[in-house]
Chains A and B, each alone.
Chain A
Amino acid sequence: MKLPIVLDTCTILNLLRIDEDDEFLYKKLIKLNINICQKVFEEANKNINTKHFSNSQKKYISSHIPYFGTYILTCDERFESEYKAKIKQFCNYKKENGEFYSALISLYLCRDKNCRLYFYTDDHPAKNIFDSYFSYQQIGVIGDTIDLLVFLCWSNSDFKQHMLEKYLQNLLSEFAIPFKNFKDQFLKMKKEWIARDVKNKRLYEELNKIEEGIEKLDFETIGIGIDYFKKDSKSYKEINAFLDSYSDINLSGYMALKIKKTIISLRKHSIYKMSC
């Protein structure tokens, strides 16, 4: 039996954005027992135009997303209304987004098929929130696109490790370049913000916190700095507008760091594949 997997919007898009014209990753992916919720399908269609994809990526993703419509799983209505409320309460989660519905169908699918499963999402704050529910209900494991690529590599004989390294490097580039752009722009703007308000000690401190976080890839510190400005939207309109324009930056940084660590690890520890 092929164990089911549940895919979140970001994972589908992240996999397709690094796939190539030979559809290598797509063909491997559709061999799996894929399940998605309606919301993820809608988000994927919407995000093709809102995320920063190149024209060729947009073209490729747009031509493949429609096929994911066949993987939409609808839960039993009674289950849905009852467990939507229960998951929200357990996880203290209010949004009804792709991650939320993916967690919901994961529970349903797990019980319906009587097996544990993998839910892949690159939204690591959402992963942290739903992890405890997955563990409590013994649904299975939450992974991300990096985990999915490693799985595809060892489960396909023609998916060699050097190819995995190539796809990971390309995925790294997708996340690290926006993070680098944020860093360059932030450092440029920081000087202007300080120069305009030279006596504002707290401004200097919090901007330094963000800079320190960027340099050390310490996302908690970046978050603390960002939160300070968010809490005082009146005094720091320009800084907040800048930070809003990079709202995904901690996600990008987190993914870039994890991919980088995986690439370095692969140089020392290969992925074991059983020879046929």
Chain B
Amino acid sequence: MNIEQFKLKSNPFRLTPSIDSKEIIWAGFPKIKEKIEKRIKRSINIPNSSLILNWGEYGSGKTHASRYFNKQDVLEKLAAPSTVPFSVNLSFPKSKEPVKELYTQIIDRIDFVELRNRVVEILNNPEDIADIITQNTLIRQILCLLFDKETNLMEIQEYLYGGPIRKLSSKGIIRRLSTDNDYIDLITSLFSFLTYEKKVYSVIILWIDEFEDISISNTNNISNINNFVRSLIDKASNNLLLFLNLTQSAMMDVEDLGEYLQEAVKSRIRDRIEFNMPNPDELKVYLEDLLNNPLYRENPFTGEQRFFPFEEKVIDLVIKDLGNSSLRRYNEAFSLLLENAIYDEKETIDVTYYDSIKNEIIGWK
């Protein structure tokens, strides 16, 4: 027996967030979705810079949210008819050079061929805009070369990663990028350039995952990361939306965060979005949405069959037995239940079956 007999294309209860963007869907939790959408829409249309904290327990869906809202089609839909945002997912830096690591992560995620084409197509005067947004001649020259069709893109990309300046010195690039200030200046100028009058992109959205790790960083890194965030907000002050994902844990509480953020950063916090433990109603909406999403099922089930192959009573029992647990824990339990039912060749997952393997599903709690 395989999963298709449950009228499913694959197991919908992913234990790790999918990397393939087509497989990243949003199920349930309409309030959280709406809150994030509102924030993004506001930033698309109004020139401002905001910092939003996404708080939640481990496995509550923050990373998933960052991946979902980085999807091009989702952003295009939110932006229409305005210009689309430019969104990047970052991990909290773990190296001894956090600013350089964040810079590299950002550069890694940019498709420069696509970006150059877009800029050339939209802007008639990139050099004039570069003049307006920075007085740093090196940074200005880098921007101009990045968006100059006559310049070999690979050479400038190599330079951005610390490659040789030999081939570029004749074009005004006379030194390497080396300090944290250089990296911050380039990133903030690039962002300002791209969002100038919201022409190429309406807003830059950055999601930094696992930001709670700031509480276990050393004091140098804490200071450098604060400087990075503050500079981003100060220098790209008009069109930046920064989401910081924070997992509440025994090592990091909501109240603790203030101890690790500089005043200039704290003052930019505009909202806190809570990814709370799901309540039974939220879970049931989530399950119905997930099981009947076109990614997993051609023809959605409705009415009493809406949780197929699970009987509704089984859903209620799992919720009762697992209690106040994270969404990840629920996904894990439903995934196991589904896999076991396939293995045991069940046609539906009813209370009798659930009771017979309950200990394997709920386990030690």
Contacts and interface: CB of A to CB of B under 8 A. Distances in A.
Chain B associates with chain A: yes
Interface of A: 54, 166, 169-170, 172-174, 176-177, 180, 188, 191, 194, 198-199, 201, 204-206, 208-209, 212, 215-217, 256-257, 260, 264, 267
B216 interface: yes
A219 to B, nearest CB: 11
B364 A169 contact: no
B343 interface: yes
A174 B359 CA distance: 39
A199 B360 contact: yes
Nearest to B259: A267
Contacts of A204: 336, 360, 363-364
Given A173-B218, A191-B16, A198 B363 contact: no
B222 interface: yes
A54 B16 CA distance: 31
Contact of A54 (B96, B222, B339): B96
A127 B259 CA distance: 32
Contacts of B16: 188, 191
B249 interface: yes
Interface string B18-41: 000000000000000000000000
Contact of B15 (A174, A191, A257): A191
Interface string B215-236: 1111101100000000000000
B13 to A, nearest CB: 11
Contacts of A177: 94, 216
A183 to B, nearest CB: 9
Given A177-B94, A215-B249, A172 B216 contact: yes
A181 to B, nearest CB: 9
B250 A217 contact: yes
B364 A199 contact: no
Contacts of B217: 173
A205 B249 contact: no
B80 interface: no
Contacts of A198: 336, 339-340, 343
A257 to B, nearest CB: 7
The 5 tightest CB contacts between A and B, nearest first, are: A176-B216, A205-B364, A173-B218, A217-B250, A170-B218
B222 A169 contact: yes
Given A188-B16, A208-B363, 10 more contacts: A54-B96, A173-B221, A177-B94, A180-B216, A199-B360, A204-B364, A209-B364, A216-B250, A217-B251, A257-B251
A208 B333 CA distance: 12
B350 interface: no
B216 A173 contact: yes
Contacts of B222: 169
A205 B360 CA distance: 8
Given A169-B218, A191-B16, A204-B363, A215 B58 contact: yes
17 contacts: A169-B218, A170-B218, A172-B216, A173-B216, A174-B218, A176-B216, A176-B251, A194-B336, A198-B336, A198-B343, A199-B343, A201-B359, A217-B250, A256-B216, A257-B250, A264-B256, A267-B259
A174 B365 CA distance: 31
B213 interface: yes
Contacts of A260: 251
A267 B365 CA distance: 35
A16 to B, nearest CB: 15
A172 B250 CA distance: 14
Interface string B328-365: 00000000100110010000000000000001100111
Contacts of A212: 364
A172 B217 CA distance: 8
Contacts of B249: 215
A215 B221 CA distance: 24
Nearest to B260: A169
A180 B339 CA distance: 30
Given A166-B219, A198-B343, A260-B251, A205 B363 contact: yes
Contacts of B15: 191
Contacts of B339: 198
Contacts of A173: 216-218, 221
Nearest to A191: B15
Contacts of B213: 180
